[in-house]
């Protein structure tokens, strides 16, 4: 589970959504995987402090998606009180380009 990019020569043509393993943030060893995905795919650079802010305060709201041991996606979120209710916020959502459009970022609870 070390690699953050698709393996060279690996075809995603036979990829199935059920082949994805979703893992809750498990500690410092997952942080480089999240950072690499975000740095490669998003245009806004983040400092190590930004990543740690989210994953240390809301580790239960950060997840990684693996395909055959390769980290292909991540979502990093937070939740806070706002006007006497709780509101969630997605800080980072990344799926590597070869794996997009296959439902990795969809919530299983989504009505869509």
Domains defined along the chain, listed by start: 21-99 (3.40.630.30)
With residue 88 as reference, give the H or E element that holds it: strand 85-95
Enter the tokens of residue 51. Answer: 């990543």
CA separation, residue 41 to residues 19, 37, 50 (Å): 22, 6, 17
Nearest to 34 by CA among 48, 20, 21: 48
- As a whole number of angstroms, the distance between CA 40 and CA 28 comes to 19
In a structure prediction context, what are the per-residue pLDDT tens digits for the chain, which is 112 residues long? 444 444 444 454 556 656 899 999 999 999 999 999 999 999 888 999 999 999 999 999 999 999 999 999 999 999 988 888 988 999 999 999 999 988 888 865 544 3
């Amino acid at each position: 589970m070390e690699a953050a990019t698709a393996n060279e020569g690996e075809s995603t043509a036979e990829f199935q959504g059920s082949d994805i393993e979703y893992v809750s943030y498990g500690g410092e060893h997952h942080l480089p995987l999240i950072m690499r995905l975000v740095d490669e795919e998003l245009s806004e650079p983040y400092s190590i402090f930004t990543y740690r802010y989210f994953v240390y305060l809301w580790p239960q709201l950060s997840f990684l998606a693996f395909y055959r041991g390769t980290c292909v996606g991540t979502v990093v979120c937070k939740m806070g009180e706002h006007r006497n209710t709780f509101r969630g916020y997605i800080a980072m959502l990344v799926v590597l380009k070869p794996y997009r459009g296959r439902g990795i970022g969809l919530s299983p609870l989504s009505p869509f």
